[in-house]
Amino acid sequence: MSAFHRGSKTYHDLRSRSAARFPSRCLIRRLLFCLLFPFLTQAASATAEAPITLTSPLDYQVFQRSAPLKGEVQICGIAHLQADRLEARLTGTSLNGPLPGNWVRLHFDKASGAFRASLSTVPGGFYQLEVRLLRAHTQVAETAVAHLGVGEIFVISGQSNSTNYGEVRQTTETGMVSAFSGDFWQIANDPQPGVQDSSSKGSFIPSFGDALYRKYHVPIGIAAVGHGSTSVRQWLPAGERIDVMPTMTRFVTHNAAGDLVSDGTLFNGMMTRIHQLGRHGFRALLWHQGESDAHQQAGHEITAAQYRQMVIELIRASRKSAGWNFPWIVAEATYHSPKDPSDPDIERAQRSLWRRGVAIEGPDTDTLGSEYRQNHGTGVHFSDTGLKAHGALWAQAVERYLNRKLP
């Protein structure tokens, strides 16, 4: 008889060894289930439709107040469950103290589930928003946004000192400053989202926003859309003629007649953000630009009169496109280095915009000399100390304007 018959010792020894080497099918299935379970649940949750989808507000979104103690929160989205009632409530602390936190009925299309409504409220925040669906007086779904505010919003445009070229990344100390990328809102820690260049270092925006929050006690929203090394020539709408090629030649093309013209890329990018914020959806645009038009090399220079006229054209075109005359606050900005600290002609052109009433007086950032600049004072961009000082100067300029607007 063979040594491998079922009752033999050899058979049982081999079976034991095989069992030790190869777990049972049941055990293998259990192991596979444990390994795959997290991925299966993630896939299931990703494909499952949320009962309520909110497109507004987004987390950390800020809405521009319309008066010192008046504002609105826009609530938009879709309900994916059948219901006969949609309600929302805001909770948190406003300029007048705690909000009442009452549920408010919102109109929605019961057939499509779409809703678009607004809640009037006192400026302040960050608030919390809850939205719920009810069927026969019973709640069937709820969603929430943890941070939203009603306060002051600013679009910031221009060249590199309006974006993320500072020496050290900055963070908001108050945690009450938000930044809008065009797709999402976030706390406004550097680098600022939404800029039209690839800059990824520091900005003046956190210190600017913190100073305004400490002054007015409402959340501050920022939409930064600048691009480094750009002349005002490159910010003109598409097809606008340019007499002299700027030093950095991007965003300039030729028309059918062979003339130099702006290709409109930067203007369109700026206006996209302005349209996203909406009519009267921000307080003012802050313009920090001029270095790339000041003391340029031969063949790339423009006169102060040309600079002034192009900024006027840009302001008028932006207001026409937006459909409302939003304020422009324009800085004096021409600094290059300790050996080239200002261009008096371009500075006079910038100041002339204030005197003509085309723009509002901004800060003179040329006063921030080498002790505020990067690379041990040799650079055009700001150091850590300089970014904080830059933000403080912008806050002072905006406060002068707001103190006239807010009683």
- Render pLDDT for 63-90 as a digit per residue (tens, 0 to 9): 999 999 999 999 999 999 999 999 999 9
Length of the chain: 407
Q: Are residues 95 and 228 in the same domain?
A: no
Higher pLDDT, 309 or 7: 309
Same-domain check for residues 200 and 292: yes
- pLDDT of 256 > 50? The answer is yes
Q: Is residue 205 a part of any domain in this protein?
A: yes
Quick one: DSSP state of residue 193?
A: T
Of the given ranges (23-32, 121-130, 367-376), which has the lowest mean pLDDT?
23-32
- 25 domain residue, yes or no: no
The verdict on 204 and 129 lying in the same domain is: no
pLDDT for position 83: 94
- State the pLDDT at residue 48: 57
Q: Structure tokens of 385? A: 């100390």
Instruction: Provide the percentage of residues in the chain whose pLDDT is more than 90.
Output: 87
SS (H, E, C) the chain: CCCCCCCCHHHHHHHHHHHHHCCCHHHHHHHHHHHHHHHHHHHHHHHCCCCEEEEECCCCEEEECCECCEEEEEEEEEECCCCCEEEEEEECEECCEECCCCCEEECECCCCCEEEEEEEECCEEEEEEEEEEEECCEEEEEEEEEEEEEEEEEEEEECHHHCCCECCCCCCCCCCEEEECCCCEEECCCCCCCCCCCCCCECCHHHHHHHHHHHHCCCEEEEECCCCCCCHHHHCCCCCECCCCCCCCCCEEECCCCCEEECCHHHHHHHHHHHHHCCCCCCEEEEECCHHHCCCCCCCCCCHHHHHHHHHHHHHHHHHHHCCCCCEEEEECCCCECCECCCHHHHHHHHHHHHCCCCEEEEEHHHCCHHHEHHHHCCCCECHHHHHHHHHHHHHHHHHHHHHHCC
* Count of structural domains within the chain: 2
Residue 23: predicted pLDDT? 46
pLDDT digits (tens, 9 = 90+) for 324-353: 999 999 999 999 999 999 999 999 999 999
Range of the domain at 68: 52-148
What CATH number did the domain enclosing 130 receive? 2.60.40
Q: Is residue 397 a part of any domain in this protein?
A: yes
pLDDT tens profile 141-169: 999 999 999 999 999 999 999 999 999 99
Regarding whether 245 and 96 lie in a shared domain, the answer is no
Q: Would 36 be classed as within a structural domain?
A: no
Average pLDDT for the chain: 91
Residues with Cβ within 8 Å of 314's Cβ and at least 6 positions away in sequence, in order, are 232, 235, 236, 237, 267
The answer on 278 and 231 residing in a single domain is yes
Tell me which residue of 178, 208, 213, 185 sits closest to 95, measured CA to CA. 213
As given in the structure block, the two tokens for residue 304 are 């102060």
201 and 346: one domain? yes
Residue after which a domain boundary falls, among 148, 172, 197: 148
Q: Tell me which of 93, 115, 148 is where a domain ends.
A: 148
Instruction: Say yes or no to pLDDT of 26 above 70.
Output: no
pLDDT band at 254 (very low <50, low <70, confident <90, very high): very high
Judge whether 203 lies within some domain. Answer: yes
Three-class SS of residue 396? helix
Strands (E), 159-310: 177-180, 185-187, 220-224, 252-254, 260-262, 284-288
Verify that 138 and 254 share a domain, yes or no: no
With a cut of 70, say whether residue 224 has pLDDT above it.
Answer: yes
* Mean predicted confidence (pLDDT) in 170-177: 98
Band of pLDDT at residue 255, cut at 50, 70 and 90: very high
3-state class (DSSP) for residue 39: helix
Q: What is the pLDDT of residue 341?
A: 96
Is residue 120 in a domain? yes
Same domain, 140 and 261: no
Position 195 scores a pLDDT of: 98
Are 4 and 11 in contact, with CB atoms under 8 Å apart? yes
Specify whether 214 is located in the same domain as 362.
Answer: yes
Note whether 175 and 264 are same-domain residues. Answer: yes
Nearest CA-CA partner of 2 in 18, 16, 11: 11
- The answer to whether residues 316 and 194 belong to one domain is yes
Q: How confident is the model at residue 234 (pLDDT cuts 50, 70, 90)?
A: very high
Asked if residue 179 and residue 110 are part of one domain, the reply reads: no
Of 22-36, 91-105, 256-270, least confident by mean pLDDT is 22-36
Q: Is 327 part of a structural domain of the chain?
A: yes
Final residue before a domain boundary, out of 116, 148, 180: 148
275-325 pLDDT tens trace: 999 999 999 999 999 999 999 999 999 999 999 999 999 999 999 999 999
- Determine the pLDDT at residue 406: 85
Does residue 153 lie within any of the structural domains?
no
Average pLDDT, integer, range 14-27: 46
Say whether pLDDT at 15 is over 70. no
Closest by CA position to 336, among listed 394, 386, 378:
378
- For 370-407, the pLDDT digits (tens) are 999 999 999 999 999 999 999 999 999 999 999 998 87
**CATH at 214:** 3.40.50.1110
Mean pLDDT of all residues in 12-26: 46
Q: What is the mean pLDDT of residues 100-112?
A: 95
pLDDT tops 60 at residue 202: yes
